[in-house]
């Protein structure tokens, strides 16, 4: 009897051990294999990218299509060369058909044939060889003046020393514009320059809140705030010396941009797409009719120097 | 809107009092003299009070049910003599004859019946056609213990996922989606305390230890007005009170955790206690392997939880209860080398404490006052020290504290009405994040967001009104919420009705308006501990839903019941992260020169609308050798946000066209039970890349000429995801089986349970990704599966 019980007992132990091993194996196994379902269906979407500006030497429209994410990969540029692309100045009542440029794979004319003028309304029409057509419109933003962006309040703190990161200083600068228009979007792109007690200069890119783009306010004053802790590059400034107090704001140089809604939204999408795997995917922007993706945007800019 | 909250509350109370007096006076004025039979119903073996027991006067058909504290009150015409019956699945008491001469108070004890015998008793007495409410399901705790579970860990939330109208998020996850609502839209209350994160191990297990629970109720529509604060469901869990007659307990040993529960009298017949706890030991089991794999590092994960409850009978009319929960999850990784010491841990946990005082004011009136505390926190700690004593230290914490009071009054003026009224008020204290960062001796950053204080209150009245073939369940809740200088005052009408076509068939309908003043910011939608609870504010409005439901309920012979329900739900002001946004709360967060803004998350979210509609079939058999249910849901859920999917409507991730479940428990004998579950669900809707857009990008810069598109200088490659959630994962299905062998011993019952999760080894997708071949020429769709065929074994000893 004892032998039988011992036998059963050993079998039970074996069973328990097997279950435990199987269970832990199952729990610990994360199985990666080919999916049994087909990948997301690729739909060939027409893409049209066009940015109009008085600053551009040409009027260009890039016309192509999306390529599959899954399956055979290709690095070739996907474009349509046989479409009819027309740009019309609705304000002036003129239009031009853009020829396909076989070097750059875009539809292009020199701006002499279709001047892009501030505050004019433009429409771009695209007709593919198979008859599908797309269109979008934009108004070129008003021209900016050299004093359209001015310095508001500013302050520079005292030098602080950090063993690992070197000297740093807190900087607050307000830029303001009293001449902005609703429906257009403004963005200062500037480099700031600080000067230390030895007369050496220290520069930094100015990053404003979010993407740094704000819609115009019309009669009210649009303000941009730069608040940062500038690291002074291990103590070596542009002049090569070690920063010493007092630090002062010497000025800022750059461009003040203005664009239409299409440009602003497209840029914001680009800005939002940080590649963060925990963030919701950013979908492609489109302001074209009939399901094409891409942007018809317009912009202008003015170089400026801001001094205290 | 300008208003005086005191004025509103005082007016509400006045209306409430008037309504109660009217009901009472009308009853007294129209009816003959009456007597009231009141008292408590207890479980005979443990002495615990029993809720939801039907009390029936046989001759007149007058009936009532006990409240959560076992109290009942039934009023009959004076001089009438009637047999009184008490009904509850699995329990029975002697019926007795009561002659209604004067008000009488009694305590009735219900004893468990043998399973086989219970077939007859319960099949005659369980009816859903008789209930006025709809979309409400009581889940017997015993059934939870008999249903097979992953690794043998019995889980109430996983069982709730098997019910129609309730969907699970993904493989193994405990998060639930009720009638198109997100996981944050479920009010989960444990002994009246809100539980914010009901998950252990990222949702693979829920934090409710089945051994400590007495009752579980799910409400997914037709909400009684005593509930408020969430849009989609209420999961009301009550802990055991503890056996006040004798010491008892249960020990359980499973593959990844062990658990124990003890209960017994403190002063016999007067007070009792229950204490339970469990802890996983994966960290201890896996330690040698981890140390070998990481060359001496110490890493692991564990969770533990404790439930405790005590009660004291002050007098025949007064009782005190104190209960609490404490649980925590922790990941850790420690490594010491000759030059570096590295230590990190990541933990989260809940704490709740509830104190309650029951008072029977008179034979018709019962009151309960509660003081409630609830806490949830998340913490991340990283410490690194090298031989030069250079130190890096990061501490991140986020927490919520709730302090609440609640008062509920049950009033049963006459056989036709069962009135409930009361109020509640909670102070929510949100600390979205606090960071301490030390780098060496010179960089010391202490970034603490100030606490956001909000106040959420509600006052309600509801009546279960029985009128011949009609059952009405009207109610009104007025909710109030204050944050900063903003106040929201919102009426929430509720209504349910049932009309009995026959004794065993009822047509039902319901309407409920709900408001929710708290949001869960989740970038993954699966309920991770890093998801952030944030309050409604001046800019981010409270969520609101309206739900209409209609259905039919039918009782059959042999304990079968069938309900068919259809619902339509709208949701307003639901929020989600904008595309590309995540829980990085604020630009320049680590810059001490920038002030900390505790509402920075507002700019990361967008608010929108949701729609959910569908129908549910629920065929249930609660009694007999074979019990269980078959559930099927056909549903659609859509969302729309201005800043997502280009403003177009899209299907929610958890939109599920078909969702089915089969649960069978077969009791072969008193000592052997076999069980099986099978689930099927349409795959989740997710966003996957479909194509690439290669073109010339453009963005503003200090040097515009470089980026002129005509120069082709900036070639951009963007992924085309198509529309939001336009890809369906493969359908999910799985079968689990369980076998329980019991053996009676001198001092208790020993149970061995063998269960198999995913018995036919279905590879259900957890997530998908694209993978290029080695040459980089072809990309294929890959799938990751978490749980294949997993057997498990557990042992339980219940002593008595």
Note the pLDDT of residue A234: 47
B673 part of contact set with chain A, CB < 8 Å: no
Q: Which helix (H) or strand (E) holds B499?
A: strand B486-502
What are the CA-CA distances from residue B476 to residues B225, B479, B508 (Å)? 6, 10, 19
Closest CA in chain B for residue A282:
B579
Residues 168-187 on A with a CB inside 8 Å of B are 170, 172, 187
Q: Report ipTM (2 d.p.).
A: 0.83
Whether residues A49 and B777 touch (CB distance < 8 A) is answered with no
Q: Say whether A150-260+299-306 and A46-139 share the same fold.
A: yes
Residue identified by tokens 């009719």 is: A289
A30 contacts in chain B (CB < 8 Å) = 784-786
Distance CA A279, CA B202 (A): 18
Are the C-beta atoms of residues A267 and A213 closer than 8 Å to each other? yes
Q: Which of A37, A164, A284 sits opposite B730 (nearest CB)?
A: A37
Contacts of A193 (CB under 8 A, 6+ apart): A201, A202, A203, A250, A251, A252, A253
Give the residue with greater pLDDT, B213 vs B88: B213
Contacts of B281 (CB under 8 A, 6+ apart): B256, B257, B258, B302
- The alpha carbon of residue B139 is apart from the nearest alpha carbon of chain A, in Å, by 28
Are the C-beta atoms of residues B55 and B74 closer than 8 Å to each other? yes
Residues 489-528 on B with a CB inside 8 Å of A are 523-524
Q: Is the predicted pLDDT of residue B43 greater than 50, yes or no?
A: yes
Q: What is the DSSP letter of B671?
A: T
Q: What is the CATH number of domain A46-139?
A: 2.60.40
Number of A/B CB contacts below 8 angstroms equals: 266
Choose among B362, B315, B370: nearest CA to B68: B370
Taking only the tens place, the pLDDT of each residue in B247-269 is 999 999 888 888 999 999 998 87
Q: Is the predicted pLDDT of residue B707 greater than 70, yes or no?
A: no
Choose among B144, B1, B60: nearest CA to B481: B1
B577 part of contact set with chain A, CB < 8 Å: yes
Q: Is the predicted pLDDT of residue B397 greater than 90, yes or no?
A: no
Distance CA B185, CA B390 (A): 46
Distance CA B580, CA B692 (A): 18
Distance CA B42, CA B97 (A): 19
The pair of structure tokens assigned to B718 is 């963007």
Contacts of A7 (CB under 8 A, 6+ apart): none
| DSSP assignment string, chain A | -HHHHHHHHHHHHHHHHHHHHHHHHHHH--EEEE-SSPPPPP---EEEEEEE-TT-SEEEEEEEE-EESSEE---S--B-SS-EEEEEETTTTEEEEEPEETTTTEEEEETTTS---TT-EEEEEEE-TTS-EEEEEEEPPPPPPTTSSEEEEEEE---EEETTTEEEEEEEEEEEES---TT-EEEEEEEEEEE-TTS-EEEEE---STTS-EE--TTSPEEEEEEEEEE-GGG--TTSS---SPPEEEEEEEEEEEE-HHHHHHHHHHHH----TTSPPPPPPB--GGG-BB-EEEEEEEEEEE--
Note the pLDDT of residue B596: 54
- The alpha carbon of residue B527 is apart from the nearest alpha carbon of chain A, in Å, by 13
Provide Rg for chain A, Cα atoms: 30
Parts of chain A with a pLDDT under 50: 1, 5, 8, 234-237, 239
- Give me the residues paired with residue A288 across strands: none
Q: How confident is the model at residue B509 (pLDDT cuts 50, 70, 90)?
A: very high
Distance CA B449, CA B434 (A): 6
Question: Taking residues B138-158, what's their average pLDDT?
Answer: 81
The pair of structure tokens assigned to B184 is 């944050």
Taking only the tens place, the pLDDT of each residue in B106-129 is 888 887 655 334 333 333 444 666
Contacts of A174 (CB under 8 A, 6+ apart): A151, A152, A153, A154, A223, A224, A225, A226
Mutate to test the interface with B, among A280, A287, A302 (most CBs of B within 10 A): A280
Taking only the tens place, the pLDDT of each residue in B331-364 is 888 888 777 888 888 888 999 999 999 999 998 8
B583 part of contact set with chain A, CB < 8 Å: yes
The CATH number corresponding to B136-687+793-799 among 3.60.15.10, 1.10.3470.10, 2.40.170.20, 3.40.50.300 equals: 2.40.170.20
Taking only the tens place, the pLDDT of each residue in B776-800 is 899 999 998 888 888 888 888 988 7
* Architecture, CATH, for domain A150-260+299-306: Sandwich (2.60)
The pair of structure tokens assigned to B315 is 């007098």
Residues 227-266 on A with a CB inside 8 Å of B are 227-229, 253-255, 257, 259, 263, 266
| DSSP assignment string, B200-220 | EGGGTEES-BGGGEEEEEEE-
B524 contacts in chain A (CB < 8 Å) = 278
Residues 283-322 on B with a CB inside 8 Å of A are 285
Note the pLDDT of residue A294: 92
B754 contacts in chain A (CB < 8 Å) = 19
Provide Rg for chain B, Cα atoms: 28
Whether residues A283 and B710 touch (CB distance < 8 A) is answered with no
Note the pLDDT of residue B31: 52
Report the C-alpha dihedral over residues A235, A239, A244, A248, rounded to 10 degrees. -120
Contacts of B22 (CB under 8 A, 6+ apart): none
Residues 63-82 on A with a CB inside 8 Å of B are 64, 66-73, 77-78
Q: Which of B440, B688, B696 sits opposite A163 (nearest CB)?
A: B440
Note the pLDDT of residue B14: 55
Distance CA B684, CA B727 (A): 8
Give the three-state DSSP class for B161. coil
Q: Is the predicted pLDDT of residue B548 greater than 90, yes or no?
A: yes
- Give me the residues paired with residue B748 across strands: B745, B799
Q: Which of A35, A45, A263 sits opposite B720 (nearest CB)?
A: A45
Mutate to test the interface with A, among B255, B608, B698 (most CBs of A within 10 A): B698
Residue A220: exposed, middle, or buried by beta-carbon count in 10 A (0-12, 13-18, 19+)?
A: exposed
Q: What is the DSSP letter of B240?
A: -
Question: Taking residues B691-712, what's their average pLDDT?
Answer: 69
What are the CA-CA distances from residue B517 to residues B185, B369, B451, B692, B705 (Å)? 10, 23, 17, 41, 50
Among the ranges given (A16-20, B379-383, B503-507), the one the predictor scored with the smallest mean pLDDT = A16-20
Give the residue with greater pLDDT, B14 vs B605: B605
Question: Taking residues B5-32, what's their average pLDDT?
Answer: 52
Q: How confident is the model at residue B3 (pLDDT cuts 50, 70, 90)?
A: very low
Mutate to test the interface with B, among A40, A68, A228 (most CBs of B within 10 A): A40
Q: How confident is the model at residue B57 (pLDDT cuts 50, 70, 90)?
A: confident
Contacts of A28 (CB under 8 A, 6+ apart): none
Closest CA in chain B for residue A68:
B691
Taking only the tens place, the pLDDT of each residue in B407-464 is 999 998 887 889 999 999 999 998 877 677 777 666 666 666 678 899 999 999 999 8
- Strands A222-231, A166-177: pairing is antiparallel
Q: Which of B593, B779, B784 sits opposite A73 (nearest CB)?
A: B779
CATH class of B5-125: mainly beta
Note the pLDDT of residue A38: 93
In percent, how much of chain B has pLDDT > 70? 84
Among the ranges given (B389-398, B412-421, B729-738), the one the predictor scored with the smallest mean pLDDT = B389-398
Taking only the tens place, the pLDDT of each residue in A205-256 is 888 877 788 999 988 899 999 888 887 764 444 545 578 889 999 999 999 9
Choose among B790, B681, B775, B754: nearest CA to B165: B681
Note the pLDDT of residue A65: 94
Q: What does the domain layout of chain B look like in residue ranges?
A: 5-125, 136-687+793-799
Residue B705: exposed, middle, or buried by beta-carbon count in 10 A (0-12, 13-18, 19+)?
A: exposed
Note the pLDDT of residue B293: 67
**Mean pLDDT in chain B?**
83
Note the pLDDT of residue A54: 94
Whether residues B646 and A157 touch (CB distance < 8 A) is answered with no
Residues 421-450 on B with a CB inside 8 Å of A are 439-443
Whether residues B523 and A32 touch (CB distance < 8 A) is answered with no
Taking only the tens place, the pLDDT of each residue in B568-585 is 999 999 988 888 776 544
Note the pLDDT of residue A11: 56
């Amino acid at each position: 009897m004892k032998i039988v019980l011992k036998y059963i007992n050993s079998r039970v132990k074996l069973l328990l051990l097997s279950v435990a091993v199987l269970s832990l194996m199952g729990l610990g196994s994360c199985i990666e294999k080919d999916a049994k379902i087909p990948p997301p269906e690729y739909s060939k979407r027409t893409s049209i990218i066009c940015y109009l500006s008085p600053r551009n030497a040409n009027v260009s429209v890039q016309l192509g299509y999306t390529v599959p994410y899954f399956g055979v990969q290709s690095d070739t540029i996907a474009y349509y060369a046989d479409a009819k692309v027309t740009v019309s100045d609705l304000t002036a009542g003129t239009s031009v058909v853009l020829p396909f440029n076989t070097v750059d794979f875009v539809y292009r004319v020199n701006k002499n044939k279709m001047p892009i003028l501030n505050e004019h309304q433009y429409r771009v029409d695209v007709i593919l060889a198979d008859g599908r057509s797309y269109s979008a419109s934009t108004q070129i933003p008003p021209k900016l003046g050299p004093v359209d962006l001015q310095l508001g309040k500013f302050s520079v703190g005292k030098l602080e020393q950090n063993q690992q990161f070197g000297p740093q200083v807190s900087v607050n600068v307000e830029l303001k514009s009293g001449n902005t228009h609703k429906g257009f979007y403004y963005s200062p792109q500037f480099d700031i320059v600080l000067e230390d007690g030895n007369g050496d200069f220290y520069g930094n890119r100015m990053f404003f809140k979010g993407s740094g783009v704000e819609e115009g306010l019309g009669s009210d004053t649009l303000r941009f705030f730069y608040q940062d802790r500038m690291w002074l590059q291990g103590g070596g400034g542009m002049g090569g010396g070690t920063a010493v107090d007092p630090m002062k704001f010497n000025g800022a140089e750059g461009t003040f941009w203005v664009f239409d809604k299409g440009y602003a939204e497209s840029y914001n999408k680009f800005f939002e797409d940080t590649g963060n795997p925990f963030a919701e995917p950013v979908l492609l922007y489109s302001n074209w009719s009939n399901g094409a993706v891409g942007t018809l945007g317009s912009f202008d800019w003015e170089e400026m120097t801001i001094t205290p | 809107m300008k208003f005086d909250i005191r004025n509103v509350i005082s007016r509400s109370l006045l209306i409430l009092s008037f309504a109660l007096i009217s009901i009472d006076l009308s009853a007294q004025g129209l009816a003959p003299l009456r007597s009231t039979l009141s008292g408590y119903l207890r479980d005979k073996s443990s002495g615990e009070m029993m809720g939801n027991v039907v009390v029936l006067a046989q001759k007149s058909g007058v009936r009532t049910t006990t409240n959560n504290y076992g109290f009942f009150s039934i009023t009959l015409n004076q001089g009438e003599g009637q047999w009184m019956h008490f009904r509850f699945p699995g329990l029975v008491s002697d019926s007795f004859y009561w002659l209604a001469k004067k008000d009488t108070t009694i305590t009735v004890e219900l004893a468990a019946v043998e399973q086989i015998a219970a077939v007859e008793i319960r099949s005659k007495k369980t009816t859903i056609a008789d209930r006025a409410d709809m979309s409400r399901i009581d889940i017997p705790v015993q059934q939870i213990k008999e249903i097979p579970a992953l690794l043998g860990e019995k889980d109430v939330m996983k069982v709730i996922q098997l019910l129609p109208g309730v969907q699970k998020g993904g493989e193994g996850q405990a998060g639930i989606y009720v009638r198109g609502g997100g996981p944050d839209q479920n009010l989960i209350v444990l002994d009246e305390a809100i539980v914010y994160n009901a998950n252990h191990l990222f949702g693979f297990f829920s934090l409710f230890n089945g051994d400590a629970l007495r009752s579980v109720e799910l409400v997914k529509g037709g909400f009684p007005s005593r509930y408020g604060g969430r849009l989609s469901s209420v999961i009301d869990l009550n802990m055991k009170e503890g056996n006040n007659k004798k010491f008892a307990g249960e020990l359980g040993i499973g593959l990844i955790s062990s658990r124990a529960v003890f209960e017994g009298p403190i002063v016999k017949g007067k007070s009792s206690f229950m204490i339970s706890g469990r802890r996983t030991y994966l960290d201890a089991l896996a330690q040698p392997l981890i140390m070998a794999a990481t060359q001496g590092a110490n890493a692991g994960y564990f969770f533990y939880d404790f439930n405790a409850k005590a009660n004291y009978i002050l007098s025949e009319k007064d009782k005190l209860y104190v209960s609490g929960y404490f649980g925590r999850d922790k990941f850790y990784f420690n490594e010491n080398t000759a030059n570096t010491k590295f230590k990190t841990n990541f933990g989260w946990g809940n704490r709740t404490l509830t104190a309650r005082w029951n008072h029977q004011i008179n034979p018709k009136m019962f009151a309960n006052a509660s003081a409630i505390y609830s806490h949830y926190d998340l913490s991340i700690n990283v410490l690194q020290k090298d031989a030069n004593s250079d130190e890096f230290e990061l501490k991140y914490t986020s927490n919520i504290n709730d302090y609440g009071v609640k008062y509920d009054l049950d009033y049963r003026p006459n056989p036709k009405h069962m009135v409930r009224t009361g109020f509640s008020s909670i102070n929510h204290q949100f600390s979205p994040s606090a960071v301490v960062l030390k780098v060496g001796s010179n960089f010391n950053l202490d970034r603490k967001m100030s606490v956001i204080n909000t106040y959420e209150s509600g006052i309600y009245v509801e009546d279960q009104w029985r009128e011949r073939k009609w059952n009405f369940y009207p109610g009104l809740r007025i909710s109030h919420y204050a944050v900063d200088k903003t106040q929201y005052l919102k009426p929430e009408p509720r209504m349910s009705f049932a009309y009995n076509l026959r004794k065993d068939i009822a047509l039902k309908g319901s309407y409920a308006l709900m408001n929710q003043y708290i949001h869960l910011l989740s970038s993954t939608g699966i309920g991770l501990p890093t998801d952030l609870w944030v309050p409604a504010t001046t800019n981010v409005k409270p969520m609101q839903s309206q739900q209409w439901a209609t259905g039919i309920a039918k009782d059959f012979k042999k304990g079968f019941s069938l309900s068919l329900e259809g619902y339509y739900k709208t949701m307003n002001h639901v929020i989600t992260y904008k595309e590309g946004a995540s829980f990085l709360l604020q630009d320049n967060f680590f810059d001490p020169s920038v002030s900390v803004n505790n509402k920075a998350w507002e700019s990361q979210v967008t608010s929108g609308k949701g729609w959910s509609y569908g129908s549910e079939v629920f065929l249930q058999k609660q009694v007999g050798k074979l019990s269980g249910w078959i559930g099927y849901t056909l549903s659609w859920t859509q969302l729309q946000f201005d800043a997502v999917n280009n403003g177009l409507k899209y299907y929610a991730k958890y939109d599920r066209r078909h969702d089915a479940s089969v649960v069978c428990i077969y009791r072969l004998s008193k000592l052997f039970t076999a069980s099986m579950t099978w689930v099927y669900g349409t795959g989740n809707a997710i966003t996957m890349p479909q194509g690439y857009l290669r073109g010339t990008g453009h963005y503003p810069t200090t040097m515009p000429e470089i980026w002129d598109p005509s120069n082709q200088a900036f070639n951009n490659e963007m992924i085309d995801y198509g529309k939001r959630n336009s890809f369906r994962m493969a359908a999910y299905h799985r079968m689990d089986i369980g076998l329980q062998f019991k053996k009676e011993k001198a001092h208790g019952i020993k149970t061995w349970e063998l269960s198999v999760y995913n018995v036919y080894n279905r590879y259900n997708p957890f997530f998908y990704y694209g993978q290029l071949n080695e040459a980089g020429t072809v990309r294929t769709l890959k799938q990751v599966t978490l749980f294949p065929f997993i057997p498990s074994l557990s042992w339980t000893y219940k002593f008595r």
